[in-house]
Chains A and B, each alone.
Chain A
Amino acid sequence: MTMESDRMDTPVFREFWSERDVVMEERRMSENDPDDVLDEAFNSVAFTACPYKWPVLGWMSDLLTTDRKELMEYHRINYAPNNATAVVVGDVDAKAVKKLAKKYFESIPAQEPPPPLETREPEQQGERRLVIEHDANPKMMIGYHKPIFPNPEAVAFQVLSDVLAGGRTSRLYKTIFEEKQLTARPPRVYEGPGNRYDNLLVIQAEPRHPHTLEEVEQAIYEEIDKLKTEPVSDRELQRIKNQLDARQIRQLGSNLGIAFTLLIGEIFLGDYKAMFKQNEMIKEVTPEEVMEIAKKYLVPKNRTVAFRVQVKEEAEEGETGEAEEFDQQVLRAYIMSLPPEEAQAVVQKFQSMRSEAEMKAYAQELWKQAKAAGFVKDKDKE
């Protein structure tokens, strides 16, 4: 308490400039981390008004223009006792803790409360799609805007996300990872990027080569559509409720677990007992409610889809080597010679591609097919 109260009361912000350099490197680390790159771009498109569109670290230009004065002012307003919540769990005596808290924290002056956020994210008016090019294998994120607690619909979302991806019996695990084997890791479903304002239901998946982002995306939509037409089974619902109880018991087994349960309840839900209440509310969720929120929120108009595609530096000579010159005219003729549905599928695939490298690779593949089909040779003879 000596240290924490001192930090709240009289911070000095030593080494400000070198630490700012450090944070700039932290910022660059997220530019070099393919998952962070995708995540940041995704949030910045999914949100237009809500501050969730900004990464926690800010952008490089924010860091370049931050000075010590600005930092101190931010600290004064936000890191004030009237804006803080403390939880103590462990081998302590409550009376002694109160006494110490008074001794160390009571003299720190309250500040005017931080200005409330008045901006609200407006309703999304159509699907948003984005593509990030990076030197890493493909990955995708799909997000749907949704309400947060205490909106009763938020509680049903917890059930919905467990139905989709809560364990090996969940739907995305079974269909996409296990049966269709479209991914090498089970898709993830979570709520993000924060819990203070209306947020997103996010689905993340990485296609397993040679499967494509488009294939995985379609497979995810098939599962989402099922949520809208068929009620969740009683066994699925009961499993989720059983897991909820077990999770709560386990959390009470560790000091940190208890502390987080109380703290999250207090700061996000306005009551330190709220997590327990929320669990009780989740147990009341019905299959119909899950179907209702799926129909209401999990619609194209309300979604943002981000693709990360791999772009490698131009290969140095001899490295790939196989890229063969092909005659565009011949290739076009080959595609047109295919049955109409196939030809259309090829054209659609080209249209869905986001990078030149991807198109070139696919063109090469088609060229090989054309040759294998004897098409190229025949054409030459004519």
Chain B
Amino acid sequence: MKRKVLIGVLAVVLAIALATPLLAGKRKHPSDLKYPQLDITTPEVIDISLDNGLEGFLIEDQEIPVVDVVILIKTYFPDPEKYGLNEMVNWVIRNGGSRDWPSDKLNDELEFLPASVEIYGGSLNSIIAASCMKKDLAQVLSIMSDLIMNPLFPEDKIEKKRNDMLEEIRRQNDQPGDIARREFMKILYQDHPYGWESTTATVSAVMRDDLVDFHRTYFHPNNAILGVSGDVTRAEIEKALNLALSGWERAEVDIPPVPEVKAKPAESYHYAYKDINQAYIMIGHLGINSNNPDHCAVNIMNFILGGGSFTSWITEEVRVKKGLAYSTGSRYGQDAFAVGPFYAYSRGTKADEYSRAINIIMDQITRMKTVGPTEEELRKAVDSFLNGQVFDYDSKSGMVRRLVGLRFEGRPLDTPEMDMETYAKLTVEEIRRAADKYLLRDKLSVLVVGDKDQFDRPLSDFGEVQEIELKTE
């Protein structure tokens, strides 16, 4: 019954929306404009390989005299009782300096040129990214290479990073949005590494030897992927990198697969207290792997549900019509190694109507499973989604990073282009089937962060509530 009413309202809104341009009368409605077919020409991707076994890609770009180099090194989760190690390694390599480039000299040289060499990453990779003017390429590559091969891991820098991480943990509950995101991942993944976090104990447990071992285990050319873009030819970059990285030795690296997620989606309700005058809501369950053959249908389904900003149902219902929250939508994350999370969110939700926001979001999920989008909604979503892809091609360094990512995930390099063809052919029926299979309406976990004294009704009206005690250690 409720569903029918909703659709009725939607039809009226659509009718008004379609009628207004007639009232204005001066301009064509944007949807009536004719455009030539969007033609994306992809630049040539050149394979490069070095004497030491490091392989990757180059996209040339002579527009400005700049060269970008990324090297992705495959890594793995640390022991759970030393979680935080990977972050510490990346920071200490960059900020602790190397044999020929101790910290102060390194920073002075890079900032004077100027150029940048940064190291960042997550649990499964460390990414070294260098960027410089073409004239400084040899110098910057030699600095980058020394950091990769001969990091010093000075004790004082390790302690500095440890103290800074402990302070971040102390501050981790300052922002309500951070609490919601972090706690929800823990709810979904439970004891899987994707749900782990740094604590005072784990950060304190990391020793210098752990950093040295980590570097010795993973930092080898045969365990890395190279990406280069900018004002440089294949011959130039291969020559320069062969010289700079000639001492980088291969070694056998054995990286285990990411464990399967054992947690099973199940209906659950969670509450964390924070002294704020709004509610931060997360609703969802575990999602799919990115090599799932239905991933395109799932992406578009989510685009219509809550991923497509103002054209999506959740934004339309929660924000535009009811004015309950500023930031609302959904995300169907896909992960190449395990499964990604699905979640709808309503950040900064009116506290005394928070239960309405929960109900509306759940109704939209039901609507997607039972009614699904109209043909017109689907076509609009696909067009909008595909047209948006053009911006994935406007930066060569961005394209190279994407290729490095695909290679790292073990997916075909032409996945985005192949997916575009799949998207264009999607049918309403496929979307409905994807919703039916991949939206688990009766297995949703719900997390609310806020002050329950300000809520319109208790969260326990929905089901049994587990209270989360927020920690700052």
User: Is B107's CB under 8 angstroms from A107's CB?
Assistant: no
Instruction: Tell me if A361 counts as interface (CB < 8 A to partner B).
Output: no
Give the complex CA separation of A9 and B65 in angstroms.
Answer: 43
Other-chain contact of B30, A3, A20, A252 (Cβ < 8 Å): A3
Interface string of B401-421 (1 = CB under 8 A from A): 000000000000000000000
Interface size class of B (residues with CB under 8 A): 35 or more
Give the complex CA separation of A235 and B112 in angstroms.
Answer: 8
* Among listed A28-36, A217-225, A325-333, interface-contacting one: A28-36
Chain A 227-283 interface residues, beta-carbon cutoff 8 Å to B: 235, 238-239, 242-243, 246, 249-250, 252-255
Residues of B within 8 A of A23 (CB): 326
Smallest CB-CB separation from B61: which chain A residue? A253
Smallest CB-CB separation from A23: which chain B residue? B326
Give the complex CA separation of A200 and B25 in angstroms.
Answer: 47
Give the complex CA separation of A169 and B20 in angstroms.
Answer: 58
Q: How far is the CB of B105 from chain A (nearest CB, A)?
A: 11
Instruction: Contacts A10-B26, A136-B174 given; indicate if A19 touches B111 (C-beta within 8 A).
Output: no
Q: How far is the CB of B168 from chain A (nearest CB, A)?
A: 6
Residues of A within 8 A of B26 (CB): 6, 9-10, 107
Q: How far is the CB of B144 from chain A (nearest CB, A)?
A: 16
Interface string of A172-197 (1 = CB under 8 A from B): 00000010010011000000000000
User: Is B64's CB under 8 angstroms from A249's CB?
Assistant: yes
User: Is B24's CB under 8 angstroms from A184's CB?
Assistant: no
Other-chain contact of A29, B112, B319, B347 (Cβ < 8 Å): B347
Residues of B within 8 A of A12 (CB): 20
Q: How far is the CB of B393 from chain A (nearest CB, A)?
A: 12
Residues of A within 8 A of B325 (CB): 22, 25
Instruction: Tell me if B175 counts as interface (CB < 8 A to partner A).
Output: yes
Other-chain contact of B320, A18, A31, A181 (Cβ < 8 Å): A18
Instruction: Tell me if B422 counts as interface (CB < 8 A to partner A).
Output: no
Instruction: Contacts A9-B26, A249-B66 given; indicate if A313 touches B275 (C-beta within 8 A).
Output: yes
Chain A 2-30 interface residues, beta-carbon cutoff 8 Å to B: 2-3, 5-6, 9-10, 12, 14-15, 17-26, 28-29
Instruction: Contacts A34-B175, A137-B174 given; indicate if A104 touches B320 (C-beta within 8 A).
Output: no
User: Is A243's CB under 8 angstroms from B114's CB?
Assistant: yes
Other-chain contact of A18, B163, B170, B323 (Cβ < 8 Å): B323
Instruction: Contacts A26-B326, A185-B164 given; indicate if A18 touches B321 (C-beta within 8 A).
Output: yes
Instruction: Tell me if B364 counts as interface (CB < 8 A to partner A).
Output: no
Interface of A is mostly: helix
Residues of B within 8 A of A29 (CB): 278, 326-327, 347-348
Q: How far is the CB of B306 from chain A (nearest CB, A)?
A: 16
Give the complex CA separation of A24 and B16 in angstroms.
Answer: 26
Instruction: Tell me if A168 counts as interface (CB < 8 A to partner B).
Output: yes
Instruction: Tell me if A150 counts as interface (CB < 8 A to partner B).
Output: no
Instruction: Contacts A22-B323, A135-B274 given; indicate if A253 touches B24 (C-beta within 8 A).
Output: no
Instruction: Contacts A2-B28, A239-B111 given; indicate if A15 touches B321 (C-beta within 8 A).
Output: yes
Instruction: Tell me if A300 counts as interface (CB < 8 A to partner B).
Output: no
User: Is B163's CB under 8 angstroms from A208's CB?
Assistant: yes
Q: How far is the CB of B18 from chain A (nearest CB, A)?
A: 13
Instruction: Tell me if B160 counts as interface (CB < 8 A to partner A).
Output: yes
Instruction: Tell me if A209 counts as interface (CB < 8 A to partner B).
Output: yes
User: Is B348's CB under 8 angstroms from A34's CB?
Assistant: no
Chain B 409-462 interface residues, beta-carbon cutoff 8 Å to A: none
User: Is A26's CB under 8 angstroms from B348's CB?
Assistant: yes
Give the complex CA separation of A191 and B133 in angstroms.
Answer: 28
Give the complex CA separation of A17 and B320 in angstroms.
Answer: 10
Residues of B within 8 A of A136 (CB): 171, 174-175
Give the complex CA separation of A242 and B107 in angstroms.
Answer: 14
Chain B 53-81 interface residues, beta-carbon cutoff 8 Å to A: 63-66
Other-chain contact of A167, B24, B107, B323 (Cβ < 8 Å): B107
Give the complex CA separation of A6 and B105 in angstroms.
Answer: 56
User: Is A238's CB under 8 angstroms from B167's CB?
Assistant: no
Q: How far is the CB of A22 from chain B (nearest CB, A)?
A: 5
Q: How far is the CB of A152 from chain B (nearest CB, A)?
A: 25
Give the complex CA separation of A2 and B33 in angstroms.
Answer: 9
Residues of B within 8 A of A17 (CB): 323
Q: How far is the CB of A373 from chain B (nearest CB, A)?
A: 28
User: Is B164's CB under 8 angstroms from A208's CB?
Assistant: yes
User: Is A137's CB under 8 angstroms from B278's CB?
Assistant: no
User: Is B323's CB under 8 angstroms from A20's CB?
Assistant: yes
Residues of A within 8 A of B112 (CB): 235, 238-239, 242
User: Is B278's CB under 8 angstroms from A32's CB?
Assistant: yes
Smallest CB-CB separation from A136: which chain B residue? B174
Give the complex CA separation of A19 and B319 in angstroms.
Answer: 8
Smallest CB-CB separation from B350: which chain A residue? A25
User: Is A253's CB under 8 angstroms from B28's CB?
Assistant: no
Residues of A within 8 A of B164 (CB): 184-185, 208
Other-chain contact of A243, B28, B111, B320 (Cβ < 8 Å): B111
Instruction: Contacts A32-B276, A137-B170 given; indicate if A25 touches B349 (C-beta within 8 A).
Output: yes
Q: How far is the CB of A93 from chain B (nearest CB, A)?
A: 14
User: Is A32's CB under 8 angstroms from B277's CB?
Assistant: yes
Instruction: Tell me if B324 counts as interface (CB < 8 A to partner A).
Output: yes
User: Is B163's CB under 8 angstroms from A181's CB?
Assistant: yes
Q: How far is the CB of B66 from chain A (nearest CB, A)?
A: 6
Interface string of A50-76 (1 = CB under 8 A from B): 000000000000000000000000000
Residues of A within 8 A of B66 (CB): 249-250, 253
Instruction: Tell me if B260 counts as interface (CB < 8 A to partner A).
Output: no
User: Is B167's CB under 8 angstroms from A253's CB?
Assistant: no
Instruction: Tell me if B216 counts as interface (CB < 8 A to partner A).
Output: no
Residues of B within 8 A of A21 (CB): 322-324, 350
Name the residue in A21, A25, A185 with the highest tally of chain B Cβ atoms < 10 Å from its Cβ: A25
Residues of B within 8 A of A206 (CB): 171
User: Is A181's CB under 8 angstroms from B33's CB?
Assistant: no
User: Is A135's CB under 8 angstroms from B33's CB?
Assistant: no
Residues of A within 8 A of B171 (CB): 136-137, 184, 206
Residues of A within 8 A of B326 (CB): 22-23, 25-26, 29
User: Is B27's CB under 8 angstroms from A181's CB?
Assistant: no
Residues of A within 8 A of B16 (CB): 14
Residues of A within 8 A of B64 (CB): 249-250, 252-253
User: Is B350's CB under 8 angstroms from A10's CB?
Assistant: no
Smallest CB-CB separation from A22: which chain B residue? B323
Chain B 178-203 interface residues, beta-carbon cutoff 8 Å to A: none
User: Is A33's CB under 8 angstroms from B320's CB?
Assistant: no
Smallest CB-CB separation from A10: which chain B residue? B24
Residues of B within 8 A of A249 (CB): 64-66, 133
Residues of A within 8 A of B321 (CB): 15, 18
Smallest CB-CB separation from A14: which chain B residue? B16
Q: How far is the CB of B112 from chain A (nearest CB, A)?
A: 5
Please give the residue numbers on chain B whose beta carbons come within 8 Å of chain A beta carbons, in ascending order. Answer: 16, 20, 24, 26-28, 30, 33, 63-66, 95, 107-108, 111-115, 133, 160, 163-165, 167-168, 170-171, 174-176, 274-278, 319-327, 347-350, 394-395
The 7 lowest CB-CB distance pairs between A and B, nearest first, are: A21-B323, A184-B167, A18-B323, A29-B348, A136-B174, A184-B164, A32-B276
Please give the residue numbers on chain A whose beta carbons come within 8 Å of chain B beta carbons, in ascending order. Answer: 2-3, 5-6, 9-10, 12, 14-15, 17-26, 28-29, 31-34, 104, 107, 135-137, 167-169, 178, 181, 184-185, 206, 208-209, 235, 238-239, 242-243, 246, 249-250, 252-255, 312-313
Apart from A2-B28, A249-B64, what 11 extra A-B contacts exist at CB < 8 Å? A9-B24, A18-B320, A20-B323, A22-B326, A24-B323, A34-B174, A181-B160, A242-B113, A246-B115, A246-B133, A313-B275
